[in-house]
């Protein structure tokens, strides 16, 4: 369980960093929100999250 929590935290840090960089680059908020939703859905289901485009 500890390993899963560590992996989840790492994935969330990566997701946050990606979202911040996209928003700093004036990327469409809709695209960022859709990707974040897909990643969170995958993490909740225990699946490997999709990587940013």
pLDDT tens digit string along 9-47? 888 888 888 888 888 777 788 888 888 888 888 888 888
Task: Quickly count helices (H) and strands (E) in the chain.
Answer: 2, 0
Confidence of residue 53 (pLDDT cuts 50, 70, 90): low
CA distance 19 to 46: 21
Residue 3 is encoded by which pair of tokens? 């390993």
Residue 1 is predicted with a pLDDT of: 67
CA distance 22 to 18: 6
Residue 46 is predicted with a pLDDT of: 84
Give burial (CB, 10 Å; 0-12/13-18/19+) of 25: exposed
DSSP 22-46: HHHTT--HHHHHHHHHHHHHHHHHT
């Amino acid at each position: 369980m500890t390993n899963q929590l560590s992996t989840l935290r790492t994935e969330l840090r990566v997701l946050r960093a990606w979202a911040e960089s996209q928003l700093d680059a004036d990327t469409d908020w809709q695209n960022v929100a859709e990707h974040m939703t897909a990643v969170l859905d995958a993490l909740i289901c225990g699946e490997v999250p999709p990587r940013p485009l």
